[in-house]
Amino acid sequence: MARLDAFFKKMIELEASDLHLTTGVPPHFRLHGDMMPVSGAPLWSEEQMLEVLFEIAPERNRKQFEEEHDTDFAYELPGQARFRANFFMDRHGPGAVFRLIPEQILTAKELGLPEAVRSLCYLSKGLVLVTGPTGSGKSTTLAAMVDTINKTRADHILTIEDPIEFVHKQQKCLVHQREIGRHTRGFKRALRAALREDPDIVLVGEMRDLETIEIAIETAETGHLVFGTLHTTTAASTVDRIIDQFPADRQAQIRTLLASSLRGVIAQTLCKKKPKGRVAALEILIGTPAVSALVREGKTHQLTSQMQMGAKTGMKLLNDSLVELVQKGLVDPTEAYMKSVSKDELVAKLSHIGQRVNIDAIGAEGTAIATSAPAVDEELATEPASPAPRAPIPSRSQPQAPPAKQQKSSSTGFDDFEQFRQRRT
């Protein structure tokens, strides 16, 4: 068993979303949105960190990390969960972040996706975008939507991901999942090839550049249902981001193509849920004829007003979603304020329902959480057997810091961590 497997099992047990490893710094879990250092865990030197990381990395990713100082792949604990891994170099030395990907895909109803979002799964063609900052749950939402299609339609689903995250089993649909670097060279190449692979539904893990965006729009125009992601925070800014990717002399053409192919935009952000966990606040734009006209005419600044008037079709602004979560008692008003893009407007909306934002409590709460460090299990405090890595440390321009002194392990268990969890419940 790999040494990191003990950390991964603890992540599953604690329901932590991420594990952060840094040279000379205690490991950190992200628990319900908060970063929590794990006291008593080994402070690995550069050599030890590489040995631990390379123990689980495929050979291809080891070579890529040595050459480029970055690499991504997926790691699996059979029967328990998958983990999206990213290795990187910083001023401390080698580091890594692991995102927990549950083996069981949550359904659209379990996630609380509204009917307007679920209805997008039954389209025959068009472009559907799920957007939001990193760590906002885009992959989870997309997985739930693909799972809905997989259970209700007899179609061919093709996904292009970097890396493959949620694994979709064959149900009513035929499912092919391709991973960048393992099964194809890049998104552009895989998306062009997809047109010759007879898909009905195409999922593009990331629409990173102009050519990928253009091919995705063309694929949607040729009679396929295309799902994609962007790192934008609002529905209106998503439309602007796509159009602004293109040169000025092509933007009018892209507006016309996007106006006819765009079927929906789900812009989401994760909020801390009471008493624990996290819940997504959704901004929803539906591609109605009125929305298509605004996109075609370049009047994207009017999309917000159109969304306010489009409640009957399922459209919703982020602030309205945040207010709804506060009303249901799922999210604290202060948390909603922190996640809002238009904060003054949100404060006004909350005041109408008798809720007040306590801005002074934001910093104090964050400080209290940050100083509560969990103790580590004895199983997690084991050191690598040998400091010798399997490969030389990638060179860096900055001088290396001396290895941190090893901290003695503790066998007291996650007592402080459990107290932290109890306080949140």
217 phi/psi in degrees, rounded to 5: -65, -45
374 CB-near residues (< 8 Å, 6+ apart): 29, 36, 37, 38, 39, 414, 416, 417, 420
Give yes or no for a contact between 312 and 290, defined as CB atoms under 8 angstroms apart. Answer: no
Give the predicted TM-score (pTM) of the model: 0.83
Q: Name 183's bridge partners.
A: none
Give yes or no for a contact between 268 and 141, defined as CB atoms under 8 angstroms apart. Answer: yes
Give yes or no for a contact between 168 and 175, defined as CB atoms under 8 angstroms apart. Answer: yes
Query: What single-letter DSSP state applies at residue 269?
Result: E
- What's the pLDDT score for residue 386? 47
Angle at 262 between CA 283 and CA 138, to 5 degrees: 45
- Pair of tokens at residue 159: 């996904």
Q: Distance of alpha carbon 64 from its chain centroid, rounded? A: 23
Distances (CA, A) of 154 to 118, 149, 196, 247: 17, 8, 19, 39
Give yes or no for a contact between 242 and 262, defined as CB atoms under 8 angstroms apart. Answer: no
- What's the pLDDT score for residue 395? 54
Residuewise pLDDT in 10s, the chain (425 residues): 899 999 999 999 999 999 999 999 999 999 999 999 987 888 999 999 999 999 999 999 999 999 999 999 999 999 899 999 999 999 999 999 999 999 899 999 999 999 999 999 999 999 999 999 988 999 999 999 999 999 999 999 999 999 999 999 999 999 999 999 899 999 999 999 999 999 999 999 989 899 999 999 999 999 999 999 999 999 999 999 999 999 999 999 999 999 999 999 999 999 999 998 999 999 999 999 999 999 999 999 999 999 999 999 999 999 999 999 999 999 999 999 999 999 999 999 999 999 999 877 665 544 333 334 555 565 666 555 444 444 455 555 444 444 444 444 433 344 444 554 555 55
Give yes or no for a contact between 145 and 109, defined as CB atoms under 8 angstroms apart. Answer: no
- What's the pLDDT score for residue 379? 60
Distances (CA, A) of 4 to 54, 93, 403: 11, 18, 20
| Nearest CA among 315, 42, 74, 67 for reference residue 177 | 74
- What's the pLDDT score for residue 215? 95
